[in-house]
Amino acid sequence: MEAILVPISIFLGTFAMVFGIRYLSNKEKMAMIERGINPGIGKSAPRPYLSLKFGLLLVGLGIGLLVALFTVRSVFGPNMTRAEEGQAVAVYFGCLGIFGGLGLITSFVIEKKAIDK
């Protein structure tokens, strides 16, 4: 019985969430129009460094995965126990967070230098 109810409730919950978000967004735009405000202002501003930010984030995540792979293989070796597998997962997530954050910090520094010029 649960095998049927869980997917149905997930589908209905997702549908209700998307419908609610669209409904509230439409209400907000209609209220802005009634007050004489253009609802498109400020939401479609160009973001020149968005691709740089995502590119550096993905490069950082890739480097983090490689560092985690080499770290896990050198520390735990090929025959890992169950407890060591849990520690290896922690190493992977830690390296992803650290190097992804470094990629975003690098993006910020590059953007800041370009804006200051």
Q: Provide long-range contacts, Cβ within 8 A and 24+ apart, for 42-51.
A: 49/107, 49/110, 49/111, 49/114
- Whether 55 and 97 map to the same domain: the answer is yes
Secondary-structure breakdown of the chain: helix, strand, coil percentages, each rounded to the nearest 5: 80, 0, 20
- Whether 66 and 105 map to the same domain: the answer is yes
Tokens encoding 23: 């409904």
Domain of 62, in residue numbers: 50-116
- Whether 38 and 63 map to the same domain: the answer is no
Amino acid, single-letter form, for residue 43: K
96 in Cβ contact with 88 (< 8 Å):
no
Tokens encoding 13: 């919950």
pTM of the complete model: 0.60
**Taking the CB of residue 47, how many other CB atoms lie within 10 A of it?**
9
Lowest mean pLDDT among 8-12, 45-49, 73-77, 96-100: 45-49
| 35 alpha-carbon distance from chain centroid | 35
- Whether 55 and 34 map to the same domain: the answer is no
- Whether 60 and 100 map to the same domain: the answer is yes
Phi-psi region for residue 77, left (φ > 0), alpha (ψ -120 to 50) or beta? left
- Whether 111 and 54 map to the same domain: the answer is yes
Instruction: Identify the pLDDT of residue 46.
Output: 67
Total of domains in the chain: 2
- Tens of pLDDT, residue by residue over 34-72, are 998 888 766 666 678 888 999 999 999 999 999 999 999
Q: Is residue 23 helix, strand or coil?
A: helix
